[in-house]
Chain A
Amino acid sequence: MTSVALTVNGSRCEADVEPRQLLVYFLRDRLGLKGTNVGCDTTSCGACTVLVDDESVKSCTVFAVQADGSEVTTVEGLARGDALHPVQQAFHEQHALQCGYCTPGFVLATVSLLKENPNPSETEIREGLEGNLCRCTGYHNIVKAVQAAARAGA
């Protein structure tokens, strides 16, 4: 066991973890944050995307011990009380989801993208989200949601 101390969605958390525990399972099984999904478990689909120190990462490909000392943000940490984060709001309004399985990953990938590039072109949005797969929407409304979020200054 290895001790880790990290901040998850603004709350400090300390735990002893097996070094082989992947961050996604630490978040889901230890902290009960089930918003982060596992889609492929092979670093392909992006469903498990979270922010580590404000950058998008696939949490199925990071050990929890590697996040020691970091700030982690999951989809549960985006809203402020009842007010959705602007990216969540845009996904809602643009109907950028159907089954919703990929959505937490897309939302966090979008937060990271807009931080690096607040005004992306359509091509930059599509390329910026190439690490996330959606089996339902055909991506069209996801792109519209990212554009709306960018306009809203997310």
Chain B
Amino acid sequence: MIPAVFEYERAGFVDEAVELLGRDEEAKLLAGGHSLIPAMRLRFSRPSLLVDIGRLDDLRYVREHGDRIAIGALTRHADLVGDAMLREHCALIGEAAALIGDPQVRHRGTIGGSVAHGDPASDLGTILLTLDAEFVARGPGGERAIGAGAFFTGPFETALEHQEVLTEIRVPKTAGTYLKHVRRAHDWATVGAAAARVDGRVHVGLTSMGPTSLRARTVEDALADGATPADAAAHVAEDAMPPTDASASSEYRLHLAQVLVRRALERM
């Protein structure tokens, strides 16, 4: 399967990428290519121009940013897995990155591409939503920060504008856990459940349980009111719209989500 014809430009810095995107309404950024190239091969996606930001190594970092941790958008999944700063301050991210696809996928895929793609099955998307991460985007008008709650707007849709490049993701220093159910090794999540302590509350997030990564706010409220993990997890149905597809029915997903949320909460 060969993608449709496209033009190719490699950006040497972020503002050049912004400028190149401005040339063509059908242009797309190329980071690790591990969501985009499969979609292009199937011709689900047919950009006329690819702007390659895969070599922007100055966007490949994990560092302290005040009381938060800042992660460059071009940081690869494999970088997250081994990162000492994350292990100390937000271990959940590296642990979840280790569950993405397989080593070959983790060598190429980036955290920025994982969230910018807006895939409801993205593990890191769910975790960053649960952590209430802040997304920093640069566009023609300069830089802006987007809160996680406003970032995931629909299936394969985010708050990023056409000409905006996601440059950095900021997360709190905190503890959490992520549980992922897969049918076979290296599969995407049939269901994933995240729990993390953020600003004195326990946040709960879900993967593959609706049109985007979701927060299970009814579950969170029940916990805040003192419910046990099992009682809180029973509320998942009120927070999710699980799809039926080739890997699971909606009912089975709901069952899995209740079990995974309970187990995640028991570990908090």
A residues with a Cβ closer than 8 A to B are 2, 18-20, 22, 41-44, 46, 49, 55-58, 61-63, 65-66, 68, 109, 112-113, 126-128, 130-132
Asked if B155 is an interface residue, CB under 8 A from chain A, the answer is: no
A-B interface pairs (CB < 8 A), number: 75
Q: What residues of A have a CB within 8 angstroms of the CB of B198 in the complex?
A: none
Q: Which listed segment binds A: B3-11, B19-27, B129-137, B142-150?
A: B3-11
CB distance from A26 to the nearest CB of B (A): 12
The smallest C-beta distance from A98 to any residue of chain B, in angstroms, reads 21
Question: Could you say which of A2, A43, A66, A126 contacts B105, with CB atoms under 8 Å apart?
Answer: A43
CB-CB under 8 A from A20, the residues of chain B are 2-6, 40
* Contact of A61 with B185 at beta-carbon distance under 8 Å, contacts A19-B8, A55-B107 already known: no
Q: How far is the CA of A9 from the CA of B2 in the complex (A)?
A: 25
Question: Which of B7, B8, B107, B186 contacts A57, CB < 8 Å?
Answer: B107
Q: List 25 A-B residue pairs with CB atoms under 8 Å apart, sorted by A's residue number.
A: A18-B5, A19-B8, A19-B50, A20-B4, A20-B40, A22-B37, A41-B1, A42-B1, A43-B34, A49-B104, A56-B104, A58-B104, A61-B38, A63-B33, A65-B52, A66-B54, A112-B103, A112-B107, A113-B103, A127-B185, A130-B185, A131-B101, A131-B103, A131-B104, A131-B186
Q: Please tell me the number of chain B residues within 8 Å of chain A, measured between CB atoms.
A: 29
Q: Which residues of B contact A19 (CB under 8 A)?
A: 6-8, 50
Q: How far is the CA of A103 from the CA of B73 in the complex (A)?
A: 34
Q: Are A42 and B38 in contact (CB under 8 A)?
A: yes
Interface residues of B (CB under 8 A from A): 1-8, 10, 30, 33-34, 37-38, 40-41, 50, 52, 54, 78, 101-105, 107-108, 185-186
CA distance A61 to B5 in the complex (A): 16
Does the CB pair A62–B108 fall under 8 Å?
Answer: yes
Contacts of A2 in B (CB 8 A): 8
Complex Cα distance A56/B40, Å? 22
| Residues of the A chain whose Cβ atoms lie less than 8 Å from the Cβ of B101 | 131
A contact residues around B185 at 8 Å (CB): 126-127, 130
Which residues on A sit within 8 Å (CB–CB) of B2?
Answer: 20, 22
From B3, B4, B5, B52, A66 is in contact (CB under 8 Å) with B52
Please indicate which of the listed interface residues B7, B37, B78 has the most CB atoms of chain A within 10 Å of its own CB: B37
How far does the alpha carbon of A51 sit from the alpha carbon of B107 in the complex, in Å?
10
Across the interface, do A130 and B1 meet the contact criterion of CB distance under 8 Å? no
Cα distance A78–B28 when bound, in Å? 36
In the complex, A112→B10 CA distance in Å? 27
Instruction: Give every chain A residue within 8 A of B50 (Cβ-Cβ).
Output: 19
Smallest Cβ-Cβ distance to B98: which chain A residue = A127
Residue numbers in A under 8 Å from B7 (CB-CB): 19
- Chain B proximity of A116: nearest CB distance (Å): 8
